[in-house]
Amino acid sequence: MTTMSRKEKAPMSSRRIKAWSWVHKWSSLVCTVFMLLLCLTGLPLIFHHEIGHLLGTEVEAPDLPRDTPRASLDKVMEVAQALHPGKVPMFALHEIDDDRFWYVTLGDTPLSDVGNKTVAVDARTAAVLAQPRFDEGFMYVMLKLHVDLFAGLAGKLFLGFMGLLLLVAIVSGVVLYSPFMRKLDFGEVRQTRSRAKWLDLHNLLGIVTLVWAFTVGATGMVNTWADLIIKYWQYDQLSALLAPYQGQKPPAQLASVQQAAASATALAPEMKMAFIAFPGTSFSSPHHYTVFLRGKEPFNSRLLKPVLVDAGTNVLTASPPLPWYLTALLVSQPLHFGDYGGMPMQIIWALLDIATIIVLGSGLYLWLGRRNPAKAGKAASPGKADKPAPAGITPEPHAARRETTGGAA
C-alpha cells in the first residue's frame, strides 16, 4: 500500500520541487533589491535612540524629584503653540518609557503631512526642552527609505507587497530546504566550490533565521497597513459615536485639554497616558479629544485604550474597546522594531539582520551564477569553465520525493 502510493506520488514530487523552485526564484528575485534596502536602512534604525543620543538630537528631560507636580497640559500646549503661531495642535505624546516631557506636534491643519512642527516641552515645568526636526538628517532619510521610499502611502503599500513576496520566498525556501539538504548534515558548509559553499551558507542562514525573518517580515508588512487600519478604525468605531454630532460644526473654542486628560485617566486609574489626539486628526474625530491610555505592565504597555472626550464641553463620550486589528498592529510593532529587550536584543537583532543580508546576497549570487554558467564555473574552479551546473548543488529529487511523501502521509 505504502509503496504503491509512494510510487504514484513520485513524479508529482519532482514536479513539485520544480514548482516550488520557480516560486522561490521569482518571489525572491522581485523583492531582493528592496529587501536589501530595507535590511540596510533598518540597521541604523534599530539603534535610533542611541544614535540620536550621540548626535545630540535625543530629548533629555532634567532629573527632578519624582513628586514634582506636573504642569497643566493647557500650559504645555500654550507654550508650544506660542513658538508656532497659526499652527493647530495635532498630538501630544509621551515616549513609552519617559513621561517627563511631552512631544507636541503642530500642523497647518489637523491632517497635514508636511511642515509639521514638534516641540518637546517639560511635563513638570512646561519649559521648552527642544524643537527636534524629524524631517531632516541621516536618520530621517533612513526612516523614509525604510518606511515609504519617500512615496507616501503608495510607497508603504508597495514595500508591504515586497514584504509579502519575502514571506512567500521564505515559505518556499523552507519547502526546498529538504531536497537540497538531504545528503548534508545540519550546518555543513562544503568548502569545495564557491557555489556549493554559498548555497550551503544560504541554506544554513536561511533556515536558522527562518522564524525571526518571518516574524520581522510579517510584522513589517502589517505596519505598512497602519494608515489604512487607523482609517478603518475611524469608520468602524467612531462613525457610530459621531451620529449625535451630525450636522454640528466642530467646537470653535476648544475646552481644557488638561480636564479632558484628567477625566480620561480617572476612567482607568490603573493606566497611564500614551498620547492625546486633538480634534480633527486621524486618531480622533472633529468633535473630540481622544486620549489614548496604555497599560503599566510590560505585557499591556503596548496596548492602548482610547477615551473620547467632547472637545467643546469636556463631557466624556465613550471609551470603545480596542478592536482586534488595532491590537494586532500594536503588538506587531515591537516585534518588528526589536526594541523590547534591551541593548543585547538590539545587537542580536542587528546580527540577524546582517545574516538576512547574507541570505539575500547569496541568493542573488547563486541566481547570477546560474544565469552565467561560464562565469560561475570559472569562479568556482578555474579550468572547468565549460561546466554549466556543478554537480552537488542541485536538489535530490529522489530523496525529496521520499521526504515529501513522508511529510504528506
Task: Write out the three cell numbers for 223.
Answer: 505596519
Radius of gyration of the chain from Cα atoms? 27
Q: Minimal distance in Å, beta carbon 208 to other proteins? A: 5
Closest CA to 327 of 297, 298, 305, 296: 305
Nearer CB in complex with other proteins: 201/393 = 201
SS3 of 322, please?
coil
Angle at 41 between CA 37 and CA 43, to 5 degrees: 120
Nearer CB in complex with other proteins: 285/332 = 332
Cβ(202)–Cβ(363) under 8 Å? yes
- Per DSSP, what are the bridge partners of residue 106? 89, 117
For residue 305, report the phi and psi dihedrals to the nearest 5 degrees.
-120, 110
Nearer CB in complex with other proteins: 290/405 = 405
Q: Minimal distance in Å, beta carbon 192 to other proteins? A: 6
Q: Minimal distance in Å, beta carbon 141 to other proteins? A: 28
Nearer CB in complex with other proteins: 24/402 = 402
Say which DSSP state 253 is in.
S
Nearer CB in complex with other proteins: 186/324 = 186
Contacts of 342 (CB under 8 A, 6+ apart): none
SS3 of 276, please?
strand
Q: Minimal distance in Å, beta carbon 215 to other proteins? A: 6
Q: Minimal distance in Å, beta carbon 185 to other proteins? A: 8
Q: Cα separation of 161 and 88, whole Å?
A: 35
Task: Write out the three cell numbers for 142.
Answer: 533612513
Task: Write out the three cell numbers for 270.
Answer: 490603573
Torsion of the alpha carbons at 71, 74, 79 and 85, rounded to the nearest 10: 170
Cβ(100)–Cβ(123) under 8 Å? yes
Q: Minimal distance in Å, beta carbon 194 to other proteins? A: 6
Q: Minimal distance in Å, beta carbon 1 to other proteins? A: 7
Q: Cα separation of 319 and 288, whole Å?
A: 12
Q: Minimal distance in Å, beta carbon 213 to other proteins? A: 9
Nearer CB in complex with other proteins: 89/377 = 377
Cell numbers 522594531 correspond to: 337
Q: Minimal distance in Å, beta carbon 77 to other proteins? A: 31
Nearer CB in complex with other proteins: 25/197 = 197
Q: What is the DSSP string of 189-213?
A: ---S-HHHHHHHHHHHHHHHSHHHH
Cβ(80)–Cβ(104) under 8 Å? yes
Interacting residue ranges for other proteins, rule: CB under 8 A: 1-2, 177-178, 181-182, 185-189, 191-194, 197, 201, 204-205, 207-212, 215, 297-299, 331, 334-335, 340-342, 344-345, 348-349, 351-352, 355, 378-382, 399, 402-403, 406-407, 409
Nearer CB in complex with other proteins: 150/299 = 299
**Residue 10, Cα to own-chain centre: how many angstroms?**
42
Task: Write out the three cell numbers for 250.
Answer: 466642530
Q: Minimal distance in Å, beta carbon 299 to other proteins? A: 4
